[in-house]
C-alpha cells in the first residue's frame, strides 16, 4: 500500500484530490493559517455557544444580531478571517480582528491512505497534538474526532491506550477538527444532507469522550445547530468504553447514538482488555445500555467487538454475547484487530470471524464485519496515536521497542481467565 505524507504548509496537500469539485480554493487552501489560539492576547471565537458569542458582542458594544452574522460566517460558510465576511462593516471587522481570531489548529501532517482514508495530525497552541480521520464512502463519509490528548484509559489492544493521558481538549479544539476537515475537503458552505463528504461524526478518536463530556457536549451542540454545520444528532455517534455514570446524562442532554466498546463477554477477560471494567463491570454496563434514553429499535446501540485470536472469538463467546444483549436494541460491529507497533495480539482468522458473525446474525443481531480502513497510515480503529508522541518515545528509547502491552501480572491474569473461559 502507498502512504502519502505531506507536511503543511507546502503547496498541494495529500487530501486535495478528495475535495468537492469546484470548491473555493480561498476556503480550502491551508497555507499559513491563523492558529486557533495565537498567544498574542486575542481569543478564539470558535467553540463559543450562541449565548457566549452574544455576550462577547455586547462587551464590544454591538447588537445581538452581530453574533448571528458571525455564527453564519464561521459555521455555515467556513470563514477563517474576518475580512472574508463581506456583509459585515469594515470597522466592525477591524474591531473583531483586534480582539479575536477564528483560526484553526496547525496541520503538521496530512496523510492519505490507498483506500481514500485521510488522517490529519493537528497541533494546538501548547504544542500538544491529536489525530483526526476522515473515512469516505460513496459520496459521503465519517469524521473520527478526538476528545483528549492521549487517553484516560489503557485498553490493551488500542494504540492510543499506550499514550499517557495529557489533557482534555476544549470545546474549541473539538469543534475545530470538524472545521479543519471541511477546509481540507472544500465542503463550504454547508451542503445538503444528500451531498455531504462529511455526513457523520464518530467520537471514536483519541480519548474517552465521557471523561470530557462538558466540552464534547458543547462542541456537538455547535455542530448540530441548524444554522451552521447542521449535522443531525442522528448522524453523531459517541463511543465509550463504559463510563456508566455518564451514559444516562449523555442520552438525556445530547441524544446522540451510542457505541459501546465491549470486546469481551466475561469480566475476567474484559478486566484485562478494558481495565475500566474493574470499576464498572459488564452487568452494570449492560443495564446502563438498557436504560439509555436515546436508544430504540430505530436507533440501536452499537457494540464494538474487536476480534482477537484465541481471546474472545469462540462460538461460546458469541453465545454469551447474545445472552448479554437480551432486552437491548443492539447491533454488533465486529472489528478485525488492526495491528500496531508493539502490539502482542493477533487478529482472528477470517473463518472464525465469519462463523462468529453468522451466529449473531442467525440470532437476529445485525453483525457486520468492519472493513479495515486506513491501516497503511495507522488510521484504522485502535491505531491512533499522535506522531509527536511516537517520535518522542523513539528519541527517548533510542529506537527501542515500545513497552509491552501487558505486564507479567496482566499476562498471568489473561491466561487464567482464558483457562476458565
Residues of the binding site for S-adenosyl-L-methionine: 207-208, 239, 261-263, 338
- Grid cell of 266 as nine digits: 466475561
Residue 138's CB is within 10 A of a number of other CB atoms, namely 5
Residue 24 near residue 186 (C-beta atoms within 8 A)? yes
Say if residues 206 and 386 touch (Cβ distance below 8 Å): yes
C-alpha cell at 71: 455564527
- For residue 149, with 0-12 CB atoms within 10 Å meaning exposed, 13-18 middle and 19 or more buried, which class applies? buried
Q: Which is nearest to 81 in space by CA: 23, 38, 145, 125?
A: 38
The active-site residue out of 56, 131, 173, 389 is 131
Q: Is residue 254 packed enough to be buried (19+ CB in 10 Å), middle (13-18) or exposed (0-12)?
A: buried
Pairing, β 148-149 against β 330-336: unpaired
- Take residue 80 and report the three cell numbers written for it: 477563517
Calpha distance 29→24 (Å, rounded): 8
Cell numbers describing residue 165: 493521558
Whether 266 contacts 282, CB under 8 Å: yes
> What is the phi/psi pair of residue 341, to 5°?
-55, 125
Distance of CA 159 to the CA centre of its chain: 14
381 is catalytic: yes
Does 253 qualify as catalytic in the annotation? no
- Cα–Cα distance between 50 and 354 in angstroms, integer? 49
* Secondary structure letter of residue 212 according to DSSP: G
Kindly list the catalytic residues: 131, 381
Amino acid at each position: 500500500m502507498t502512504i502519502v505524507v505531506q507536511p503543511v504548509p507546502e503547496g498541494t496537500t495529500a487530501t486535495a484530490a478528495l475535495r468537492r469539485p469546484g470548491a473555493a480554493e480561498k476556503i480550502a487552501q491551508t497555507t499559513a493559517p491563523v492558529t486557533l489560539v495565537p498567544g498574542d492576547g486575542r481569543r478564539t471565537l470558535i467553540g463559543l455557544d450562541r449565548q457566549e458569542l452574544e455576550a462577547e458582542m455586547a462587551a464590544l458594544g454591538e447588537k445581538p444580531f452581530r453574533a448571528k452574522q458571525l455564527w453564519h460566517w464561521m459555521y455555515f460558510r467556513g470563514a477563517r478571517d474576518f475580512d472574508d465576511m463581506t456583509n459585515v462593516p469594515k470597522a466592525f471587522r477591524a474591531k473583531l480582528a483586534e480582539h479575536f481570531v477564528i483560526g484553526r489548529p496547525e496541520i503538521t501532517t496530512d496523510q492519505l491512505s490507498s483506500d481514500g482514508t485521510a488522517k490529519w495530525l493537528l497541533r494546538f497552541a501548547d504544542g500538544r497534538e491529536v489525530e483526526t480521520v476522515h473515512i469516505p464512502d460513496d459520496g459521503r463519509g465519517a469524521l473520527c474526532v478526538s476528545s483528549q490528548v492521549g487517553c484516560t484509559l489503557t485498553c490493551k489492544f488500542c494504540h492510543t491506550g499506550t499514550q499517557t493521558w495529557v489533557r482534555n481538549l476544549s470545546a474549541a479544539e473539538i469543534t475545530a477538527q470538524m472545521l479543519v476537515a471541511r477546509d481540507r475537503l472544500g465542503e463550504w458552505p454547508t451542503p445538503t444532507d444528500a451531498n455531504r463528504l462529511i455526513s457523520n461524526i464518530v467520537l471514536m478518536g483519541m480519548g474517552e469522550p465521557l471523561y470530557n463530556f462538558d466540552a464534547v457536549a458543547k462542541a456537538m451542540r455547535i455542530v448540530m445547530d441548524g444554522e451552521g454545520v447542521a449535522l443531525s444528532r442522528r448522524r453523531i455517534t459517541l463511543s465509550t468504553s463504559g463510563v456508566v455514570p455518564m451514559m444516562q446524562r449523555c442520552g438525556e442532554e445530547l441524544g446522540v447514538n451510542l457505541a459501546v466498546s465491549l470486546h469481551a463477554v466475561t469480566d475476567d477477560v474484559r478486566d484485562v482488555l478494558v481495565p475500566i471494567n474493574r470499576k464498572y463491570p459488564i452487568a452494570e454496563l449492560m443495564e446502563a445500555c438498557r436504560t439509555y434514553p436515546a436508544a430504540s429499535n430505530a436507533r440501536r446501540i452499537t457494540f464494538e467487538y474487536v476480534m482477537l485470536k484465541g481471546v474472545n472469538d469462540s462460538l461460546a463467546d458469541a453465545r454469551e454475547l447474545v445472552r448479554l444483549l437480551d432486552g437491548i436494541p443492539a447491533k454488533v460491529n465486529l472489528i478485525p484487530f488492526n495491528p500496531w507497533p508493539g502490539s502482542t495480539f493477533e487478529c482472528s482468522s477470517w473463518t472464525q470471524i465469519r462463523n462468529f458473525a453468522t451466529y449473531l446474525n442467525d440470532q437476529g443481531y445485525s453483525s457486520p464485519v468492519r472493513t479495515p480502513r486506513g491501516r497503511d497510515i495507522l488510521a484504522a480503529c485502535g491505531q491512533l496515536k499522535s506522531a509527536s508522541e511516537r517520535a518522542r518515545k523513539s528519541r527517548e528509547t533510542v529506537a527501542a521497542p515500545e513497552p509491552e502491552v501487558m505486564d507479567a501480572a496482566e499476562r498471568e491474569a489473561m491466561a487464567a481467565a482464558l483457562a476458565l473461559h
